[in-house]
Amino acid sequence: MVGWEEVVAIPVSYRVDESTGFVLSRASEIVTGRDLTTYLSALLTDPTIPRPLRDLNDLRAVERFDVEPDAIRRLVSIAEAHPEQIRGAKLAVVAVNEIVYGMSRMLELLMDSSPVAEKLRERGAYGEMNVFRDIEEARSWLLSDE
């Protein structure tokens, strides 16, 4: 009998790299808004995740985002509901597909300039997000004190 994990492909998953303390997140194929909100909710409520969060989010295998505008609002609401888990977090996104890279950059800019981001900054519970094309540059940024 084939195990469940061999039959069902999970579009977004994560694990903790014990050597660095990073969360290594990976997404592939088509990623939906539901995939993203499920992932973020799980990540921010998982008691095994080291804090402050350092997430290396590998989107190199993503072919496209199928994300509706309401999903972005839900993502922001999830982040707002977990200020302690967001405090000091660093999210490095790695994307090579032009559209996925561009959408990730738009999310980065939205997260930086949204009213929710301002509220989180006021509460001292704000993290950083940067988008990269090269995974080694992303790792270096996560290790840095920037």
Half-sphere exposure of 61 (CA within 13 A, CB side): 12
Is 50 exceeded by the pLDDT of residue 5? no
pTM of the model: 0.83
What confidence tier does 76 reach under pLDDT thresholds 50, 70, 90? confident
Q: What is the pLDDT of residue 54?
A: 93
In the chain, pLDDT over 90 holds for what percent of residues?
32
Token pair, residue 108, equals 């980065």
Distance CA 114, CA 109 (A): 8
Q: Label residue 16 by pLDDT band (50, 70, 90).
A: very high
Q: Where are the alpha helices (DSSP H) in the chain?
A: 4-7, 33-45, 69-80, 83-86, 98-113, 115-122, 135-143
- What are the CA-CA distances from residue 70 to residues 32, 66, 73, 94, 130 (Å)? 11, 12, 5, 24, 22
pLDDT of residue 123: 64
pLDDT at residue 97 above 90?
yes
pLDDT > 80? residue 38: yes
Q: Is the pLDDT of residue 6 over 90?
A: no
Mean pLDDT of the chain: 82
Structural domains of the chain, ranges and CATH numbers in brackets: 9-143 (3.30.750.24)
Arithmetic mean of pLDDT, 116-135 = 77
Inter-CA distances, 77 with 10, 28, 85, 118, 133, Å:
23, 24, 13, 13, 28
Q: SS3 breakdown of the chain: % helix, strand, coil, rounded to 5?
A: 45, 25, 30
